[in-house]
Chain A
Amino acid sequence: GENVEQHPSTLSVQEGDSAVIKCTYSDSASNYFPWYKQELGKRPQLIIDIRSNVGEKKDQRIAVTLNKTAKHFSLHITETQPEDSAVYFCAAIIPGSARQLTFGSGTQLTVLP
């Protein structure tokens, strides 16, 4: 089955700096990669996603890059703000009819004011 590894597990940055979170996946047939932000005790919220036919996608301060050959994808947050502090999860689709997601282990991002 699909296996998703995520690094780092914790990340602290100064406000205004950039943050990068990286994930690798195992199944080359995976073709959909979402990123979720989860604040403590709240639901995961989709912040950006990318399909395998695209190498990069950007939405204001958030961008995702995908390297299909290396089977890794990354989340980039620029000009970080304290409200960006949360746990971020990457995920990859499990190829098949149900299209389930396999999640990475999560990254606790702390933006220091």
Chain B
Amino acid sequence: GAVVSQHPSWVICKSGTSVKIECRSLDFQATTMFWYRQFPKQSLMLMATSNEGSKATYEQGVEKDKFLINHASLTLSTLTVTSAHPEDSSFYICSARMPLTDTQYFGPGTRLTVL
């Protein structure tokens, strides 16, 4: 299957700082990527849809000023958690959609811990 990478795999930060997470599709160009959040023993909750060259679309209840998404190229989308707080601690996973299909390939996830 296709390969999607995510960096970093884990990060610990202090409350009030910002954290950037990168998602890359390594062997295909993805015009659309998605960002999910997953709490322990729960399902994947879609946060936003990242479209190359345009603004991201956020799901209801997700603060766009807190979770900044940039999809600057066909292989890279970034999620920046601004002014992180302990309640933002979670597992963040991206996915990239294979062009002309509905198939999403997931990155390995980033474990964010905010102290």
A interface residue numbers (CB < 8 A to B) = 32, 34, 36, 41-46, 49, 89, 93, 98-106
Shortest Cβ distance from residue B91 to the other chain A in the assembled complex, whole angstroms = 8
Contact in complex: B97, A99 (CB < 8 Å): yes
Nearest B residue (CB) for A98: B49
Contacts of A100 on B, CB cut-off 8 Å?
A: 34, 46, 49
What per-residue 1/0 map shows which CB atoms of B62-105 lie under 8 Å from chain A?
Answer: 00000000000000000000000000000001000100001111
B interface residue numbers (CB < 8 A to A) = 1, 4, 32, 34, 42-46, 49, 51, 57, 93, 97, 102-109, 111
Contacting B43 at CB < 8 Å: which of A32, A45, A46, A89? Answer: A89
Contacting A49 at CB < 8 Å: which of B34, B57, B103? Answer: B103
Shortest Cβ distance from residue A51 to the other chain B in the assembled complex, whole angstroms = 8
Contact in complex: A46, B102 (CB < 8 Å): no
Contact in complex: A32, B102 (CB < 8 Å): yes
Q: What is the count of residue pairs linking A and B with beta-carbon distances less than 8 angstroms?
A: 51
Contact in complex: A89, B44 (CB < 8 Å): yes
Contacts of A44 on B, CB cut-off 8 Å?
A: 44, 93, 106
Contacting A43 at CB < 8 Å: which of B34, B45, B49, B108? Answer: B108
In whole angstroms, what is the CA distance A106 to B42 when docked?
7
Given contacts A100-B46, A100-B49, A103-B45, 18 further A-B contacts (CB under 8 A): A34-B103, A36-B106, A42-B109, A43-B4, A43-B93, A43-B106, A43-B107, A43-B108, A45-B106, A46-B1, A46-B104, A49-B103, A98-B32, A99-B97, A100-B34, A101-B46, A104-B43, A106-B43
Contact in complex: A46, B32 (CB < 8 Å): no
In whole angstroms, what is the CA distance A44 to B103 when docked?
12
Contacts of B49 on A, CB cut-off 8 Å?
A: 98, 100
What are 10 pairs between A and B in contact, CB < 8 Å? A32-B102, A34-B104, A36-B106, A41-B111, A45-B1, A46-B105, A49-B103, A98-B51, A100-B49, A104-B43
In whole angstroms, what is the CA distance A105 to B105 when docked?
19
Shortest Cβ distance from residue B111 to the other chain A in the assembled complex, whole angstroms = 8
Contacting B108 at CB < 8 Å: which of A34, A42, A99, A102? Answer: A42
Contacts of A104 on B, CB cut-off 8 Å?
A: 43
